[in-house]
Amino acid sequence: MRRIVIALFLVGLLCAAFYTIYYMNTIYQTTSTSLSDLDVEATTYRVALISPELRNSYWNSVYEGAQTTAQEHDVTIHYWGSYRSNVEHILKNMEIAIASKVDGIIVMGIDDPGFLTLVNKATKKGIPVITISVDAPDTLRKAYVGSDHYHAGIVIGHQLAKAVNGQGKVGMIIGNESAGYLKQRLDGFIKGISRYPEVELVDVSPEDISSNQASLKTQEILNQHPNAKAFVGLSADDGAEIVKAIQKRSKVEDYYIYTFDDTQETLSLLKKGLIDGTLTHSPKQMGERSVSLIVQWLEGRELPLKTNHFTPIQLMTKGDEGNHENNSK
């Protein structure tokens, strides 16, 4: 009996001792790993990348590209923006960037007087501004990195003209004509179809429609020109709108629809065969390029910078979807 008690007691003691030592050890371990106030390396360059749409896969690619170059050159990218295109928010972010005295700003060009003021203010304060994806040539921006919209217009123009066999009416859907890049696309497009005189570009005058919405425009065009076989949508979501409008009346597949952008929706429409072709851009390259340009400017190499840095665009028609990098999302 006695022996059992002694044995139990010893076991208990061993247990207790073991746990004590175990916890001692744990505590010792954890105290040695504490957050080190790291010695920060020499201050890196801070570059603000201001995006109109943060959750966008296109802009995510831009950010990705920017980050890749940034890491090579010891640059910190501040990725700011709004979740829904909001001019005021973009302007505010720019102001913050300027107040924070960042080393460079990469922003999408906006057709807005406030934007112009801010870009010039930044430039005056010695902060280089680079426009990305859409240019703002009136401002004192140092360079533009993005697709060549004029050339894009030409490509689409050619393609569409070929598709309609060199003759027919093409409904033109354009948002805000004043937006510079849209105008460029339009000019390019006109140039593109100029070789095919039988191809006629039709539009409706603004008084005939209640709003500038693409679908309404499409409807009106169809009303006025019932034999129009093709449509070209110059702004981003025009494709979807055009399809919507046509679907109400007739089969979409009979129409030749071309757009200029590679948004998710546009691509899925292309996949379904509802639109016939669009362009893909290279946002990642834009990101990379713009950051390296900023660095170049900051390091004072080969100044002044070349103004236009065009990134590749690619025509995508039905059947090409597999090749596109953004497709998998």
Q: Does 187 bind another protein (CB under 8 A)?
A: no
CA angle at residue 196 from 219 to 150, to 5 degrees?
75
Neighbouring C-beta atoms of residue 78, cutoff 10 Å: 15
Measured between alpha carbons, how far is residue 99 from residues 70, 93, 141, 273 in Å? 22, 10, 18, 49
DSSP state of 79: E
Q: For another protein, which is the closer residue by CB, 31 or 205?
A: 31
Which residue among 7, 8, 9, 74 contacts another protein (CB under 8 A)?
9
Q: Does 89 bind another protein (CB under 8 A)?
A: no
Q: Least distance from C-beta 78 to another protein, angstroms?
A: 7
Pairing of strands 129-132, 168-173: unpaired
Q: Least distance from C-beta 290 to another protein, angstroms?
A: 18
> 158 CB contacts (<8 Å, ≥6 apart)?
192, 193, 195
Q: Which stretch binds another protein (CB under 8 A): 90-98, 135-143, 212-220, 288-296?
A: 90-98
Q: Least distance from C-beta 113 to another protein, angstroms?
A: 16
Q: Which stretch binds another protein (CB under 8 A): 98-106, 233-241, 245-253, 271-279?
A: 98-106
- Looking up tokens 């110059």 gives 234
Report d(CA 224, CA 218) in Å as an integer. 10
Neighbouring C-beta atoms of residue 106, cutoff 10 Å: 30
Q: Return the bridge partners of 79, or none.
A: 49
Q: Least distance from C-beta 95 to another protein, angstroms?
A: 7
Q: Least distance from C-beta 41 to another protein, angstroms?
A: 9
Going along the chain, which residue ranges are E strands? 45-51, 75-81, 104-108, 129-132, 143-147, 168-173, 199-202, 230-233, 256-259, 277-280, 308-311, 314-317
Q: Least distance from C-beta 18 to another protein, angstroms?
A: 9
Q: Phi and psi of 66, rounded to 5°?
A: -60, -45
By CB under 8 A, what part of segment 47-76 binds another protein? 76
CA angle at residue 74 from 72 to 77, to 5 degrees?
100
Q: Least distance from C-beta 19 to another protein, angstroms?
A: 4
Q: For another protein, which is the closer residue by CB, 57 or 82?
A: 82
Interaction mask 11-50, another protein, x per CB under 8 A? -xx--xx-xx--xx-xx--xx-xxx-xx-x--xx-x----
Q: Which stretch binds another protein (CB under 8 A): 99-107, 184-192, 213-221, 280-288?
A: 99-107
**How buried is residue 82: exposed, middle or buried, by Cβ count under 10 Å (0-12/13-18/19+)?**
middle
Which residue among 98, 154, 160, 222 contacts another protein (CB under 8 A)?
98
Q: Does 182 bind another protein (CB under 8 A)?
A: no
Q: Least distance from C-beta 97 to another protein, angstroms?
A: 8
Site residue total, another protein (CB under 8 A) = 31
Site for another protein, rule CB under 8 A: 9, 12-13, 16-17, 19-20, 23-24, 26-27, 30-31, 33-35, 37-38, 40, 43-44, 46, 76, 78, 95-96, 98-102
